[in-house]
Structure 1
């Protein structure tokens, strides 16, 4: 299994297969606009702007699992665009832990360990996915997105 075996739903309700990102480096992050880590949106956008022409994509998945997100996906996406200038794809609200978690996040958790084992500790847990659709590395919520740049460069040079 890889991320290509899953679908995602954008903030506008459009569902698509992650197969469309085959061969690209993908950064998947669970987000929350009311979280203290929300300024990371700016760094994520900078990474996206710098690397999007090199087949790197950032995908934001807003979650109210930790009670720090807007009530609708469109409100969350609009807040990200207005406050942080986000242009990368934002998705529908989802759960990232538990039986009702989005299947993609169940896959991500199963294939990477964090501080709490496989569960996602908090908002802004980041997953770097290689060009084969597999988890390359998991980053903690407190980790700056800029910490991913060295690993992105490594993947680009393989």
Structure 2
């Protein structure tokens, strides 16, 4: 059941999904059971990248060990072509930004080819103007049971998620 063909509407948690990491290895998201997660679509060439990567790193450094926070970053090239690189280039960018959180393979977050995990996230936490993802760095907070509990837009700084995260630790 935990594969790319999973019916996202029938799923109850992210733990039912398997996704590819940036090294093209299958990762079962059940590995994140018991962890509060931030799932975010990222883009190296986006104007929001430097600030978001910096603050996501800070959140991870501050709460990764102490609270078990996990950050799952999914590169996406669907917004103004701002993630044109291949996995190797994405890894280099992440290394330059000293990324310590988990990086996954480049995916689509909207449309027919959207990754099933992202279809699930949008299904559970629709947006104000429709459930589609509107831009890079849309952030979903997922509780320890793997349920998406909040959605925050690209203009929400990661550091501003702390108050929300505290509800789920």
**Pairing 1:80–2:91 present:** no
Question: 1:109 is matched with which residue?
Answer: 122
* Mapped contact 1:62–1:73 kept (Cα < 8 A): no
What TM-score do you get using the length of structure 2 for normalisation? 0.89
* Counterpart Cα distance in 2 of 1:128 and 1:74: 27
2:44 paired residue among 21, 29, 33: 33
- For residues 58-137 of structure 1, the aligned pairs below 5 Å read 58-66=71-79, 67-82=81-96, 84-137=97-150
Question: 1:49 is matched with which residue?
Answer: 61
Residue 100 of structure 1: how far off its partner (Å)? 0.3
Query: Mind listing any 5+ residue stretches in structure 1 that lack a counterpart?
Result: none
**Pairing 1:20–2:31 present:** yes
Query: Mind listing any 5+ residue stretches in structure 2 that lack a counterpart?
Result: 1-11
* Counterpart Cα distance in 2 of 1:99 and 1:11: 22
* Counterpart Cα distance in 2 of 1:115 and 1:37: 21
What TM-score do you get using the length of structure 1 for normalisation? 0.94
Alignment root-mean-square deviation, CA: 1.0
Aligned length: 155
SS in 1 for 2:22: coil
